[in-house]
Amino acid sequence: MNQPDITTQSLGMALMLVAIALAISGKERLGLGRDILWSVFRAVVQLLIVGAVLKMLFAVSNVTLTVAMVLFICLNAALNARKRSQHSDRAFAIAFLAITASTVTTLMILTLSHAIHFVPMQVIPLSGMIAGNAMVAVGLCFSNLDRRFYSDKQQIMEKLALGASVKLASAEIVRDSIRAALIPTVDAAKTVGLVSLPGMMSGLIFAGIDPLLAIKYQIMVTFMLLGTASLATVLTGYLTSRRFYTPRAQLRIEE
């Protein structure tokens, strides 16, 4: 089977799709023209840099550099996830811990089960998928916790006044926030193959790999993302909920 080859001319023609987005933004007065151009420019530059770095890492195949790249991915994911938290003073530390712990745990399980080998070509792309999914889940958990603690602060204070512990007063909010953060991942798992053909499977098929083998990899990815999102949101929910209280179990939320 012939493998596709994207030339510079092909990419240039593909810019027509960006032109369509710019035309729609201008016609509908969306005010997104500058943002679209900036996002496209950043995407191109970032991907070119990442491509050069990955080419070097794949050639060297060094364990230390591979681990450092995984941590770098988790660091950037945490920096983005913390932006969704407005009230937690340790959002970055919590996000980094949750994303790193879930990513490392998932990679360990996949490596020990021999689903993948600990080589840069396999570990780094999967780490990006894992950390990216965890980043979205953690960000959603942060935003839901902020919203619920603020909107339900009166009920929380009433529970505390009646003698409830911090854990008991927060239990429903934490549970609902974790559930809300997991919904996108669960919905994606429900519709995989029926509505969407995910990136890994589509990429492998596009590259000429046997579709059945590509499907096996996608099943592994589905398991991987569900487990990662669950672990990351549980850690985020329980660690963040404690930051809404003072050491004397008083609610920190203010108008």
Q: What's residue 204's pLDDT?
A: 72
Residue 43 three-state SS:
helix
Answer yes or no: do 118 and 190 share one domain. Answer: yes
d(C-alpha 177, C-alpha 150), whole Å: 13
Q: Decide: 71 and 130 in contact? Cβ < 8 Å.
A: no
- 3-33 tens-digit pLDDT: 556 777 888 888 889 999 999 999 888 888 9
150 and 54 within one domain: no
Q: Does the residue 27 lie in any domain?
A: yes
- 148 and 219 inside one domain: yes
- Residue 252, in any domain of the structure: no
Please tell me whether residues 25 and 122 are part of one structural domain: no
**Based on the structure, what is the number of domains in the chain?**
2
- Per-residue pLDDT tens for 79-129? 999 988 876 678 899 999 999 999 999 999 999 988 888 888 889 988 998
The reported pLDDT for the residue numbered 228 is: 93
Q: How confident is the model at residue 2 (pLDDT cuts 50, 70, 90)?
A: low
Cα angle: 7, vertex 9, 13; to 5 degrees: 120
Tell me the angle at which helices 211-242 and 120-151 cross, rounded to the nearest 10 degrees: 40
Instruction: Give the pLDDT score at 84.
Output: 85
Q: Are 49 and 118 found together in one domain?
A: no
Which residues form the domain of 222?
62-242
Q: What pLDDT is recorded for position 216?
A: 84
Mean of pLDDT values over 50-64: 86
Looking at residue 254, its pLDDT comes to 55
In SS3 terms, 185-237 reads as HHHHHHHECCCECCHHHHHHHHCCCCHHHHHHHHHHHHHHHHHHHHHHHHHHH
